[in-house]
Amino acid sequence: MNRATDVLVIGGGATGAGIARDLALRGVDVTLCERGGLAAGTTGRSHGVLHSGARYADFDPDGARECIAENRILKDIAGACIDDTGGLFVQLDGDDPDYFDEKLAGCREQEIDATVLSGADARDAVPELSERTERVIRVPDGVIYPSRLVAATAASAREHGARILPDTPVTDLLCEDGVVVGARVDGDDGEEEIRADHVVNAAGAWAEDLAAQAGVEMAMRPTSGVMVAVDHAGIEPVLNRCRPPSDGDIVVPHGSQAVLGTTSVEVDDPDDYDTDREEIDRMVRECAAMVPALEEDEISRAYWGVRPLYAPDEAERGESRSISRGFFLLDHSCDGVDGFTSIVGGKLTTHRRMAEAVTDHVADEIGVSSTCRTDEERLPGHDDPEKLDALVAEFGADSPADRDVTGA
């Protein structure tokens, strides 16, 4: 069986679903393929922080501005896919006070709401904070429930005419005379071809392998990170250790649980990497510096995700945490392959902006002049958690990141 579509999007995480939604809202016939359930890759295995930009404000002002802009949009359009918890950047005794001051100055320069609380006031707000807390910066961080977000985004795309195909792995790209013209997939009815005017590679950490099928080399440098969910109620804001990014510096509230993260370990294969028990123990130990009671909590689940980091300049390779968390839109006509675009890097918080950038590019390529509306139109079920969770089940989007919330 053969199908035809204007645009084929490969990858059903937040960015891929966002691209399908944006294209569909512009009247483009779009098909999305995902090898598993939606959000099965990096998106559904993240810590799920809705960044305010504060994490990046002192060293990546562009990234910080993108985050605070998208933070505000998602709080408006995504409803119960988001928990507007707020966040604290916590300085413990022994942490560098200059780093705290630089973080605060960066927030104010990027117009991120930032308020300083003393250690005593911070402990009044969050009684379980360590007595070692010297001061905190309060910022508008939040929590994303990625399963709900992706399912609602895919539902919006479908409502506007998109074809969403979970459990449909791509087995090969179709290339003719230097042009990618579609893909061969393993669908419900067996192998079939999907022909397209343009193909978008939104496969995340797997983007390099997909691009290779078109003869394109991509310098991906994926890193794994562990998240540990513990049974712990009562923490309301996202807690960030106010120090340079390192292992065990974030605590994410999840109702009756808290998610602790994360590590950064370079991997060769995003499907095959070590899952070391010591990483779990280190997360609990490091995060307990901010909230000592965490060391007494029962571990509910631990899961690893793989970040789709892009590192094209071999000469500048360093510690993996130093690689940009910004996103990169790659037009492969520069590689001698037409009809093929990749989107790599980025953050869950900025997935909608990434999708807009890709859709703007693809629209130009295929001659579509309509503009983006995804920043204004609210997601289906945004005000109905039960509907959202039904969509999660329908799209197979249940993920370890928020399984405690969706009930999947």
Q: What is the pLDDT of residues 150-160, one digit of tens each?
A: 999 999 999 99
Q: Would the pLDDT of 341 be above 50?
A: yes
Q: Would the pLDDT of 102 be above 90?
A: yes
What does the DSSP assignment read for 36-78? SSTTTTTGGGS--EE--SGGGTTT-HHHHHHHHHHHHHHHHH-
Instruction: Report residue 147's pLDDT band, with 50, 70 and 90 as the boundaries.
Output: very high
Residue 262 contacts residue 283 (beta carbons within 8 Å): yes
Residue 32 contacts residue 187 (beta carbons within 8 Å): no
- The pLDDT, as a whole number, for residue 325 is 63
Q: Would the pLDDT of 32 be above 50?
A: yes
Helices (H), 9-163: 14-25, 61-77, 97-109, 119-125, 146-159
CATH 2.40.110.10 fits 85-141+223-307, yes or no: no
Backbone angles phi, psi at 215, to 5 degrees: 80, 20
Separation of alpha carbons 383 and 79, rounded Å: 6
Domain edges within the chain: 2-44+146-218+310-395, 85-141+223-307
Do the bridges between strand 163-165 and strand 30-33 make them parallel or antiparallel, or are there none, so unpaired? parallel
Residue 92 contacts residue 134 (beta carbons within 8 Å): yes
- Which stretch of DSSP H or E encloses residue 302? strand 299-307
Residue 125 contacts residue 117 (beta carbons within 8 Å): yes
Phi/psi class of residue 381: alpha, beta or left (left: φ > 0; alpha: ψ in -120 to 50)? Answer: left
Q: In the beta sheet, which residues pair with residue 50?
A: 142
Q: Would the pLDDT of 318 be above 60?
A: no
Separation of alpha carbons 408 and 402, rounded Å: 9
Instruction: Report residue 187's pLDDT band, with 50, 70 and 90 as the boundaries.
Output: confident
Q: Would the pLDDT of 248 be above 50?
A: yes
- The pLDDT, as a whole number, for residue 321 is 46
- The pLDDT, as a whole number, for residue 167 is 96
Instruction: Report residue 408's pLDDT band, with 50, 70 and 90 as the boundaries.
Output: low
Q: Would the pLDDT of 162 be above 60?
A: yes
- The pLDDT, as a whole number, for residue 302 is 96
> Taking the model in full, what pTM does it have?
0.96
301-320 burial, b if ≥16 CB within 10 A, otherwise e?
Answer: ebbbbbbbbbbeeeeeeeeb
As given in the structure block, the two tokens for residue 173 are: 């790209």
Residue 352 contacts residue 195 (beta carbons within 8 Å): no
- The pLDDT, as a whole number, for residue 306 is 95
Helices (H), 265-384: 277-287, 351-366
Q: Would the pLDDT of 407 be above 90?
A: no
Separation of alpha carbons 337 and 201, rounded Å: 13
Q: What is the mean pLDDT of residues 186-212?
A: 95
- The pLDDT, as a whole number, for residue 334 is 93
Q: Would the pLDDT of 324 be above 70?
A: no
- Which stretch of DSSP H or E encloses residue 174? strand 170-176
Query: In the block, which residue shows the tokens 């911070």?
Result: 122
Instruction: Report residue 227's pLDDT band, with 50, 70 and 90 as the boundaries.
Output: very high
Least confident span in 64-78, 119-133, 305-319, 367-381: 305-319
CATH 3.40.50.300 fits 2-44+146-218+310-395, yes or no: no
Q: Would the pLDDT of 316 be above 80?
A: no
- The pLDDT, as a whole number, for residue 55 is 96
Q: What is the mean pLDDT of residues 28-53?
A: 97
Instruction: Report residue 317's pLDDT band, with 50, 70 and 90 as the boundaries.
Output: very low
- The pLDDT, as a whole number, for residue 53 is 97
Q: How far is CA 166 from the centre of its chain?
A: 18
